[in-house]
Structure 1
Amino acid sequence: MSTIAQEEENFGLPPGREAVAKPEDFRPPNVALTTLGLALASFMQVLDTTIANVSLPTISGNLGGSANQATWVITSFAVSTAIALPLTGWLARRFGERKLFVWSTMAFVIASFLCGIANSMGLLVLARALQGFVAGPMYPITQALLLSIYPPARRGQAIALLAMVTVVAPIAGPILGGWITDNYSWEWIFFVNVPIGIFASTVVGRQLKGRPERLEKPKMDYVGLATLVLGVGALQILLDLGNDEDWFHSTTIVVLAIVSAIALAVFVIWELTDKDPIVNLRLFRHRNFAAGTIAMVLAYSAFFSVGILVPLWLQRNLGYTAIWAGFATAPIGILPVLLTPFVGKYANRFDLRMLASVAFVAMSLTSFTRSYFNLDVDFAHVAWVQLFQGIGVALFFMPVLQILLSDLEPHEIAAGSGLATFVRTLGGSFAASLTTYAWTERGAVHHAHLTERISAYDPNTLQAVAQYGGGDLQRGAAVLERMISNQAAQLGFNEIFHLLGILFLCVIAFVWIAKPPFAAKAGGAAAGGH
């Protein structure tokens, strides 16, 4: 293990600057510029989780791929990111946080360029898989570096900034991706990362030069790595293919489920008993980390479900185009952007559990409001509900992130952030698959209920069909079927949002399991408190 006494040799501290004993005592020459570089890298990485979504039809058309092949542009990125996320702690211990950030950001730039020049669907999927893998450590390592360059009293502002990026980037992704694809070409949704990534890695690398690192040489946990890759890979593919393969009626899904369950069970047992695990599951011994991570996963899964379901509903049932669905949902990002500076500055004056509770109540209320939507709801009503949900989003991420990181030691933050983000990512994947599946299933149930009283021999039904078709019974039957299907889907939509409203309220209980103080730790002790 390299010692902190070697820091001047390893990092070349400039003359006249005293050697600092701990990474958290280091301050870059320009904190604002460092923050900008870190925020841009994080925004770029989170943006790429959604920016390609609306461009898939264009990409598959240009590269001669099918619609199913095009979905692998998204899935390959998600699988690779999910696998790489838990490795963040091991990589940070081995190479140092500064080097890991610079290397992963530059690798992201190279992978983005390869995505842009790909001339076949296979090459694009491979480039996206590489891009996703190197993107895995970027968010948690950015979080660890941001926390380290701010004094404990101002770390809430750093977390609030990252929370804003986490919310705004996925919302901006589809709108920006659609605009770039329509006005330029789909390749530029990847090329745009090149100048941003080079700027971010250069600025942060220079500003953090001389930052001491707590380096180790941990052994490679090959069993943990193999079971992680196998378990998470099989699980992510299962979630992606579930709806198309009719879930457990398919042999493929059953085999994937068995492989994933066995691999993940072996992974958990091995990591808890190995002396030098690649993923430190022992972090869950910390009360606040465990409670905060559970709250984060449940709330983010519900929030992710809202983000998946509302745009789909707008396009499928209300006839919105992709870009107008984006405009209708975009107001959710307005209040987080406006309120983030104040939340970061003043949140620690309040009990963070109370702020998180207010956030979940606000998100619950918007979910219950949507459970009363109908097919005649107008654009303004949808947008206003999205805007109000922004209150919940603004008060959700920062307090919960600070709670779950509050009882970790400084050297555990990168690993803890990576682990929490990994579990949160899996929760979002579960939510996306389960939400769309539940909507389809509940729609089918309601369709059956709505049609059980309709008969081809009923005079009233025949009269209505003739009226809808302008005298043409076949056309009228098609119109009636479409009306029933839309109404059935609307009822399923309403039911799911009623359940989401209840789930947001239930999450409040997990937040209150955590115990103050929630101030970030400096050194080995808590700095400040409530």
Structure 2
Amino acid sequence: MNGKAEDLEPLSGFKLILAGAVLALTNFMVVLDTTIANVSVPHIGGSLGISASQGTWIITSYAVAEAVCVPLTGWLAGRFGTVRTFTYGVIGFGIFSVLCGMSSTLGMLVACRIGQGLCGGPLMPLSQTLLMRIFPPNQRAQAMGIWAMTTVVAPILGPILGGTISDSWSWHWIFFINIPVAALCVFGSIRLVSRAETPTAMLRVDKVGLMLMLLWIGALQVMLDLGREHDWFNDGTIIWLAVIAVVGLLVFLAWELTEDQPIVDLRVFRHRGFTVAVISLSFAFATFFSSAVIIPQWLQTSMGYTATYAGYATAFTGVAAVIMSPIVAKLSTKVDPRALVCFGILWLGMASLLRVGWNSQADFWSLALPQMLQGFGMPFFFIPLTTLALGAVEPHETASAAGLMSFLRTMAGAIGTSISTTMWDNSARVARSEMAARLNEQSATQALTAQGFSIDQIRGVIVNLVEKEAFAVATTHIFMLSAVIFGFSAMIIWLTPRPRRAVGPGAAH
């Protein structure tokens, strides 16, 4: 695994196809784990005895760990070699998947999900790098197309697989299924991809910047996850976490802007096009990802859906995205990307407004249709936004800008999920109190007594009804706010200039 790719015979024929399949499968496995747990949170919560809001830690911990590790990818590959880093990353991902499946407490599961994220973070960009190295120039476009399909298809299958496995077997198997895949990918990388190893060097890493980044991100995420249960800023622990997050962020910014080799190159924010595009991306993706977490929980906890059917309902988003992706890719070369992004985000806002009409009596297709419609707008949002952001920076800054985009997008998803689930739960509490105050309990009791219900049964029916309606109201409130945020994200994109240059294939990662 130490030789340089250019010193060895390039792969060809069936071996090349197998090597490409190994890399694409690895990427598929890592991306799949970002959504496979979304519909399994109620199962995990019931098994471990935790609340739904605590269950979201399983999702956010993976996303944050993955985001933190992305900026280190370049240093890891340069210090230890691209193939070696890739191989050990897959091994670590497989080991932590085993430990996730064996977890018996929330603390253990969250810790192992963090391990999964740290190992999986570099695998997505490294798999793309290795594909570009093993395929000849005339076949790279096709290879990247296959790789991109795994990135799009994995989030579709994640909820479906997660729901089916949780209902049919056990939630533990949503992690155990990674074991044979990881083993196959490790074997394939050693036997087929090792010739694409890159030279190594004793590279310096920005240790102070790394520690500061871990400090403020960790404090911020813990504050967001624990805030609701600790009554936010009425609790001393939350106040201290907030102070650490703010001070840590300020020191981190000051350090990175003056460091010669920063772990995160913040200087790319001097380009207005990149800055505005990333702000739009962060707000829109945070809102989109939050809905992908809240909807399955609502369907299962309030609407009586199994995890399997909740997965089917949410997966329609990805189906439409797959259909539209090649069309949008062609349009991106002919139409102002700002217009495409604005249309795409406004379309997502329109899908959110459709959800505002949801109620506790909605049938499957009333719930699935907005998901499908949302999928049509997603490629208009993601693909041209990458062109806008990376086309605004200098060519030698593309890698740094792409890494920063990936980092901020993933962090936005995690932070947005924490904030939105807290708002969702708080809104349900308010709605529950208002309904209880207005409920004519005497009339309800008389009506149910006439039907033969006992007093205990009547209380149970009323409590369940109020709870169900309260979460339905809270869900519509969240989507009304989502539509507003999407509208803001769509409008600010016009503050960006048209991209100065074309962005090469695969630059986004």
TM superposition score normalised by structure 2: 0.83
> SS where residue 450 of structure 2 aligns?
coil
- Please list the CA deviations of residues 172-224 of structure 1 after superposition, one character each: whole Å capped at 9, or x if unmatched: 32431343344455554334323433444565677766669686644232221
How far residue 167 of structure 1 moved from its aligned partner, in angstroms, is: 5.0
User: Does the C-alpha gap of structure 1 residues 159 and 374 become closer, same or farther in structure 2, counting only changes over 3 Å?
Assistant: farther
Partner of 2:443: 463
User: Does the C-alpha gap of structure 1 residues 124 and 505 become closer, same or farther in structure 2, counting only changes over 3 Å?
Assistant: closer
Q: 2:367 aligns with which of 376, 382, 390?
A: 382
Partner of 1:293: 278
User: Does the C-alpha gap of structure 1 residues 60 and 516 become closer, same or farther in structure 2, counting only changes over 3 Å?
Assistant: closer
In structure 2, C-alpha distance between the alignment counterparts of 1:151 and 1:509, rounded to whole Å:
41
Mapped contact 1:469–1:479 kept (Cα < 8 A): no
> SS where residue 350 of structure 1 aligns?
coil
Letter in 1 for 2:503: A
In structure 2, C-alpha distance between the alignment counterparts of 1:301 and 1:265, rounded to whole Å:
22
Q: 1:501 aligns with which of 473, 483, 493?
A: 483
Letter in 2 for 1:13: D
Letter in 1 for 2:478: I
Matched, 1:321 2:321: no
How far residue 487 of structure 1 moved from its aligned partner, in angstroms, is: 3.3
How far residue 376 of structure 1 moved from its aligned partner, in angstroms, is: 2.1
User: Does the C-alpha gap of structure 1 residues 264 and 141 become closer, same or farther in structure 2, counting only changes over 3 Å?
Assistant: farther
Mapped contact 2:356–2:476 kept (Cα < 8 A): yes
Letter in 2 for 1:14: L
Mapped contact 2:166–2:307 kept (Cα < 8 A): no
In structure 1, C-alpha distance between the alignment counterparts of 2:484 and 2:140, rounded to whole Å:
32
User: Does the C-alpha gap of structure 1 residues 412 and 468 become closer, same or farther in structure 2, counting only changes over 3 Å?
Assistant: farther
Mapped contact 1:44–1:193 kept (Cα < 8 A): yes
Q: 2:493 aligns with which of 489, 496, 511?
A: 511
- Please list the CA deviations of residues 473-498 of structure 1 after superposition, one character each: whole Å capped at 9, or x if unmatched: 66545544543443343333223212
User: Does the C-alpha gap of structure 1 residues 107 and 476 become closer, same or farther in structure 2, counting only changes over 3 Å?
Assistant: closer
Mapped contact 2:39–2:310 kept (Cα < 8 A): no
Map of 1:203-242 to 2, 5 A cutoff? 217-242=202-227
Mapped contact 2:60–2:417 kept (Cα < 8 A): no
Matched, 1:492 2:474: yes
Mapped contact 2:29–2:181 kept (Cα < 8 A): yes
Partner of 2:354: 369
How far residue 467 of structure 1 moved from its aligned partner, in angstroms, is: 0.8
In structure 2, C-alpha distance between the alignment counterparts of 1:305 and 1:407, rounded to whole Å:
28
User: Does the C-alpha gap of structure 1 residues 168 and 253 become closer, same or farther in structure 2, counting only changes over 3 Å?
Assistant: farther
Q: 2:265 aligns with which of 266, 276, 280?
A: 280
Letter in 1 for 2:469: Q
More deviation in 317-326 or 138-147?
A: 138-147
In structure 2, C-alpha distance between the alignment counterparts of 1:439 and 1:116, rounded to whole Å:
28
More deviation in 265-274 or 179-188?
A: 179-188
- Please list the CA deviations of residues 12-47 of structure 1 after superposition, one character each: whole Å capped at 9, or x if unmatched: 5236x8xxxxxxxx9999876555433322221122
Letter in 2 for 1:490: A
In structure 2, C-alpha distance between the alignment counterparts of 1:57 and 1:310, rounded to whole Å:
12
In structure 2, C-alpha distance between the alignment counterparts of 1:365 and 1:101, rounded to whole Å:
40
Partner of 1:3: none
In structure 2, C-alpha distance between the alignment counterparts of 1:393 and 1:185, rounded to whole Å:
32
In structure 2, C-alpha distance between the alignment counterparts of 1:246 and 1:349, rounded to whole Å:
52
Matched, 1:13 2:11: no
Mapped contact 1:90–1:279 kept (Cα < 8 A): no
Mapped contact 1:181–1:189 kept (Cα < 8 A): yes
How far residue 153 of structure 1 moved from its aligned partner, in angstroms, is: 11
Mapped contact 2:212–2:252 kept (Cα < 8 A): yes
Partner of 1:392: 377
User: Does the C-alpha gap of structure 1 residues 181 and 375 become closer, same or farther in structure 2, counting only changes over 3 Å?
Assistant: closer
How far residue 422 of structure 1 moved from its aligned partner, in angstroms, is: 1.8
Mapped contact 1:329–1:383 kept (Cα < 8 A): yes
In structure 2, C-alpha distance between the alignment counterparts of 1:54 and 1:407, rounded to whole Å:
38
More deviation in 417-426 or 444-453?
A: 444-453
Mapped contact 2:3–2:195 kept (Cα < 8 A): no
How far residue 158 of structure 1 moved from its aligned partner, in angstroms, is: 7.5
Partner of 1:422: 407
In structure 2, C-alpha distance between the alignment counterparts of 1:128 and 1:157, rounded to whole Å:
33
How far residue 427 of structure 1 moved from its aligned partner, in angstroms, is: 1.1
> SS where residue 67 of structure 1 aligns?
coil
Matched, 1:67 2:45: no
Letter in 1 for 2:502: A
Count of residues in correspondence between the two structures:
500
Mapped contact 2:97–2:178 kept (Cα < 8 A): yes
Mapped contact 2:164–2:307 kept (Cα < 8 A): no
How far residue 303 of structure 1 moved from its aligned partner, in angstroms, is: 0.5
Mapped contact 2:33–2:158 kept (Cα < 8 A): yes
How far residue 11 of structure 1 moved from its aligned partner, in angstroms, is: 3.7
User: Does the C-alpha gap of structure 1 residues 111 and 272 become closer, same or farther in structure 2, counting only changes over 3 Å?
Assistant: same
User: Does the C-alpha gap of structure 1 residues 304 and 450 become closer, same or farther in structure 2, counting only changes over 3 Å?
Assistant: same
User: Does the C-alpha gap of structure 1 residues 411 and 103 become closer, same or farther in structure 2, counting only changes over 3 Å?
Assistant: farther
In structure 2, C-alpha distance between the alignment counterparts of 1:501 and 1:101, rounded to whole Å:
39
In structure 1, C-alpha distance between the alignment counterparts of 2:267 and 2:65, rounded to whole Å:
24
Q: 1:193 aligns with which of 170, 175, 178?
A: 178
How far residue 130 of structure 1 moved from its aligned partner, in angstroms, is: 2.3
Map of 1:88-167 to 2, 5 A cutoff? 88-116=73-101, 125-143=110-128, 165-167=150-152
Letter in 1 for 2:7: L
How far residue 330 of structure 1 moved from its aligned partner, in angstroms, is: 1.7
The root-mean-square deviation of aligned C-alpha atoms, in Å, is 3.9
- Please list the CA deviations of residues 49-74 of structure 1 after superposition, one character each: whole Å capped at 9, or x if unmatched: 33345556766888xx5437877655
How far residue 270 of structure 1 moved from its aligned partner, in angstroms, is: 0.7
How far residue 261 of structure 1 moved from its aligned partner, in angstroms, is: 1.7
Matched, 1:520 2:499: no
How far residue 451 of structure 1 moved from its aligned partner, in angstroms, is: 4.6
TM superposition score normalised by structure 1: 0.80
Mapped contact 2:32–2:154 kept (Cα < 8 A): yes
Letter in 1 for 2:361: D
> SS where residue 7 of structure 2 aligns?
coil
How far residue 441 of structure 1 moved from its aligned partner, in angstroms, is: 2.6
Matched, 1:356 2:336: no
Mapped contact 2:387–2:502 kept (Cα < 8 A): yes
In structure 2, C-alpha distance between the alignment counterparts of 1:490 and 1:321, rounded to whole Å:
17
Letter in 2 for 1:351: D
Mapped contact 1:163–1:398 kept (Cα < 8 A): no
Letter in 1 for 2:303: L
User: Does the C-alpha gap of structure 1 residues 356 and 302 become closer, same or farther in structure 2, counting only changes over 3 Å?
Assistant: same
User: Does the C-alpha gap of structure 1 residues 137 and 234 become closer, same or farther in structure 2, counting only changes over 3 Å?
Assistant: same
